[in-house]
Amino acid sequence: MYTEPVTLDCGHNFCKGCVLEWWDTGGTGAEVSCPQCGQCFPRRELMPNQLLVTIVASLRSLNLQDEVDGLGGQRCLLHGQPARFFCSKDLRLVCPSCPPQGQDRGSSTLIAVEEAYTVCK
Per-residue model confidence (pLDDT) at position 104: 46
One domain, residues 56 and 68: no
Task: Give the DSSP H or E segment for 67.
Answer: helix 64-72
If asked whether residues 55 and 80 sit together in one domain, one would say no
Same domain (yes/no): 68, 81: yes
Higher-pLDDT residue of 103, 78: 78
Beta carbons within 8 Å of 15's beta carbon, 6+ residues apart: 2, 3, 4, 5, 6
Q: What is the CATH number of the domain that holds 82?
A: 3.30.160
Q: Return the biggest CA–CA distance within the chain.
A: 66
My answer on whether 46 and 92 are in the same domain is no
* Structural domain of 53: 5-61
Domain tally for the chain?
Answer: 2
- Of 93 and 38, the structure prediction assigns the larger pLDDT to 38
For residues 39 and 33, the answer to whether their CB atoms sit within 8 Å is yes
